[in-house]
Chains A and B, each alone.
Chain A
């Protein structure tokens, strides 16, 4: 097992638990998708795995060693992290940016060597973005910078790749390409843990899916077993239909009768005074975002 999370629990203030009793493990070439609503602690869990935050209880092991006992560069040699977005202040070129991924392999007072440049170039080639090498990250589209961040994580030569919502700000085409890239990396033997807001994507690539809700994993297992109408309602608080689409050859998740949305019929003139306008909010309370 590459990643082992055992009874992990964490709290920011020591009173309210952000999450507790989290246990899962991840082997070579496996993909685990972590689902759950906004603010449920997915990103916090990732930070604990990366040892940026310290667990209150339980343990995280990477390659058989507790992260709490590892030095930062030792963790970074094993784990590549792709953040949700990169806020570019200085206009580094993509090559300089990907070169940063070599940091855990470079001594504190040293600068990248020829070998590090080769590894960075290899990371570009591996996900097919070599033409972006000289482009400034501040001038990149969301899709491009996502790919460059994945390349930087690959330059670390990790055995585990952690992606925090890799597709949440990408267009539909780039989402698919990103998923394909992730799938290919897993095929090469990298263990992948990703948070996502798209249960569909879990069907596309995941070996296992876990749903985090109210600080606990409410379900964990194969995508077909975990991504069910019942589990999704518990996780997201809305009814979601899980359906296999023949034409697409895949299973998709579609929210049913979205709370308060009038839909297309309601906005056409003939139906302007139709019943849809008065469609009630779920449980009659609020459609505020949770």
Chain B
């Protein structure tokens, strides 16, 4: 079992591996990884690391075996039953020998795997949405909740906690209100008429503060010994309760929205150059804005409804991406996804191992991310701060 001290060392080591003494971060990265391609291997490596790393330490080789052989067996099992129903006879495909105990299997497949996948989906999704919104609103200080999706989802979750407490209800309610908040913000933007994104941001601010007030109201009426802590913890974000069923529910919308944003990634450049210029270059800015808002909101709302509110990731990961590959959204969108997934994975590993109790993610993302970002800022001249 790892102690907190060792975990801290791991975090420092991760920082070190990104940048070496006295070398600009981009050069350092490019030296180790030709053409910056290998950054795409980072989440894969962290994915595997996160499966065996934890308070219940597992042997990496054993974990690898459980993962591959276990997956193969599960596949063979389902193939057997499928063949059985198809042919009407009992078909039993051979399966690999199981060399591990039930508890290990539970740790890998039931506890860590859903959590690891959730961290990657949420981190990657929030980062893609953040990068897209920064382009759409032509402002590097924008985060995915600029249109009120987090406040809306927070209120939805709070209502769900107050009225039912059933995790399913809480998630659905959070998702619904997250989408509703953005829809209202977008509606305000459209009603004012001008297609300007400024009005859209104002709409988001209005809706965001409205739903923040609603959240406070639900906290005020909540039972201080029971539902109030639940609301507070939900608002701080955590992946501890994520189960396989949750992944199955949110993975499709997150992936779908992300793929959508990935496909239009070059067009985001045009929007980032300015609305009028984009129009003159033949972009239907109204449609494009709607597309970006809808895709980003679906991604963010789906992420937030299983994780609670996790700030910072969607704001800062795109910046780190920009330091690595420059402002071109063609590269920035995929790199943001990869970095966001890796970042939240690391943070979540720390959240579940640092102390015996879970540390809320919303606290850690800033606690780890803010100094890291400050460090990067001092290391490299950043293009948008001249």
* B-binding residues in A (CB < 8 A): 47, 50, 52, 71-77, 79, 81, 83, 86-87, 89-93, 96-97, 100-101, 103-104, 106, 108-112, 136, 138-139, 156
| A91–B266 touching, CB < 8 Å | no
Contact partner, B272, options A83, A90, A110, A156, Cβ 8 Å: A90
Q: What separation, in Å, do the CA atoms of A253 and B384 have in the docked complex?
A: 41
| A136–B280 touching, CB < 8 Å | no
| A72–B282 touching, CB < 8 Å | yes
Q: 0/1 per residue, B281-303, Cβ < 8 Å to A?
A: 11110000000000000000000
Q: What separation, in Å, do the CA atoms of A108 and B279 have in the docked complex?
A: 14
Interface 9-mer from B178-186, B326-334, B359-367: B326-334
Q: Which residues of B contact A91 (CB under 8 A)?
A: 326-327, 383-384
Closest chain-A Cβ to B195's Cβ sits at a distance in Å of: 10
* A-binding residues in B (CB < 8 A): 135, 138-140, 263-267, 269-270, 272-274, 276-277, 279-284, 322, 326-328, 330, 383-384, 386
Q: What separation, in Å, do the CA atoms of A77 and B280 have in the docked complex?
A: 10
Closest chain-A Cβ to B277's Cβ sits at a distance in Å of: 6
Considering the complex of A and B, which 5 residue pairs feature the smallest CB-CB distances, nearest first? A76-B282, A91-B383, A73-B282, A104-B282, A81-B280
Given contacts A73-B282, A90-B384, A91-B384, 17 further A-B contacts (CB under 8 A): A50-B279, A52-B276, A72-B283, A75-B282, A81-B277, A83-B276, A86-B277, A89-B272, A90-B138, A90-B383, A92-B269, A96-B327, A97-B273, A103-B270, A103-B282, A138-B384, A156-B281
Contact partner, A109, options B263, B276, B384, Cβ 8 Å: B263
Q: Which residues of B contact A110 (CB under 8 A)?
A: 266
Assuming the contacts A86-B273, A100-B273, A136-B383, asked whether A109 and B280 have C-beta atoms less than 8 A apart, the reply is: no
Q: What separation, in Å, do the CA atoms of A106 and B263 have in the docked complex?
A: 13
Contact partner, A72, options B135, B276, B284, B327, Cβ 8 Å: B284
With CB as the reference atom, state the residue of chain A lying closest to B328. A96
| A89–B281 touching, CB < 8 Å | no
Closest chain-B Cβ to A177's Cβ sits at a distance in Å of: 23
Contact partner, B269, options A71, A86, A100, A138, Cβ 8 Å: A100
Assuming the contacts A83-B277, A103-B267, A111-B265, asked whether A138 and B282 have C-beta atoms less than 8 A apart, the reply is: no
| A103–B283 touching, CB < 8 Å | yes
With CB as the reference atom, state the residue of chain B lying closest to A73. B282
Q: Which residues of B contact A52 (CB under 8 A)?
A: 276, 279-280
Closest chain-B Cβ to A51's Cβ sits at a distance in Å of: 8
| A108–B264 touching, CB < 8 Å | yes
Contact partner, B140, options A79, A81, A90, Cβ 8 Å: A90
**Could you jot down 10 A-B contacts, CB within 8 Å?**
A50-B280, A71-B282, A74-B282, A75-B282, A81-B280, A90-B384, A106-B266, A108-B267, A109-B264, A156-B281
| B383–A138 touching, CB < 8 Å | yes
Q: Which residues of A contact B140 (CB under 8 A)?
A: 89-90
| B280–A76 touching, CB < 8 Å | yes
Q: Which residues of A contact B277 (CB under 8 A)?
A: 81, 83, 86
Q: What separation, in Å, do the CA atoms of A50 and B326 have in the docked complex?
A: 31
Q: Which residues of B contact A156 (CB under 8 A)?
A: 281
With CB as the reference atom, state the residue of chain B lying closest to A139. B386
| B276–A96 touching, CB < 8 Å | no
| A87–B274 touching, CB < 8 Å | yes
Q: Which residues of A contact B266 (CB under 8 A)?
A: 106, 110-112
| A101–B281 touching, CB < 8 Å | yes
Residue picked from A73, A86, A90, A111, most chain B C-beta under 10 Å: A90
Q: What separation, in Å, do the CA atoms of A100 and B328 have in the docked complex?
A: 11
| B330–A92 touching, CB < 8 Å | no
Closest chain-B Cβ to A44's Cβ sits at a distance in Å of: 12
Residue picked from A50, A76, A100, A110, most chain B C-beta under 10 Å: A100
Q: What separation, in Å, do the CA atoms of A271 and B223 have in the docked complex?
A: 86
Q: What separation, in Å, do the CA atoms of A112 and B273 have in the docked complex?
A: 17
With CB as the reference atom, state the residue of chain A lying closest to B330. A111
Q: What separation, in Å, do the CA atoms of A108 and B263 have in the docked complex?
A: 8
Q: Which residues of B contact A109 (CB under 8 A)?
A: 263-264
Q: What separation, in Å, do the CA atoms of A47 and B322 have in the docked complex?
A: 33
With CB as the reference atom, state the residue of chain B lying closest to A52. B279
| B386–A103 touching, CB < 8 Å | no
Q: Which residues of B contact A74 (CB under 8 A)?
A: 282
Assuming the contacts A110-B266, A112-B266, A139-B386, asked whether A90 and B327 have C-beta atoms less than 8 A apart, the reply is: yes
| A72–B279 touching, CB < 8 Å | yes
Q: What separation, in Å, do the CA atoms of A83 and B137 have in the docked complex?
A: 19
Closest chain-B Cβ to A186's Cβ sits at a distance in Å of: 20
